[in-house]
Structure 1
């Protein structure tokens, strides 16, 4: 399922997007879709790392040495 949204881009981003789509022969829609997909992935990854880091600290794991000690 697809949804349509209106998006405002700064002039410099729009120019860079136009240049990229022209040089690579891809649609702006595809570039934006992939950029949002990657942003969402890395945002979820960052949030997961933050949660796991807090859990690790509660368990006394504060460094790679602590992890190595626990798994050895």
Structure 2
């Protein structure tokens, strides 16, 4: 089931969105849905990372390289 969402966009952003839509041969609504999905996923990841970071740091995982070394 889908629901309708109405948003206001500046004219320049709407124009860019239409251009990308034509270039990708995808409907504008598909592009917007995909963008929102990605945004939500990134925000969930950031939230989870913020919660886990103190535990990781306590175990000595401070950088991405630390994690890579541990799993390699």
Q: Give the CA RMSD over aligned residues.
A: 2.1
Which ranges of structure 1 fall in alignment gaps of 5 or more residues? Answer: none
Aligned-partner Cα distance in 1 for 2:60–2:12 = 44
Larger mean Cα displacement after TM superposition, 28-37 or 10-19:
10-19
Equivalent residue number for residue 24 of structure 1: 24
Which ranges of structure 2 fall in alignment gaps of 5 or more residues? Answer: none
TM normalised by structure 2 equals 0.76
Aligned-partner Cα distance in 2 for 1:35–1:25 = 16
**Aligned pairs (5 A) from 1:34-53:** 34-53=34-53
TM normalised by structure 1 equals 0.76
- The structure number with the bigger radius of gyration is 1
Aligned-partner Cα distance in 1 for 2:61–2:21 = 45
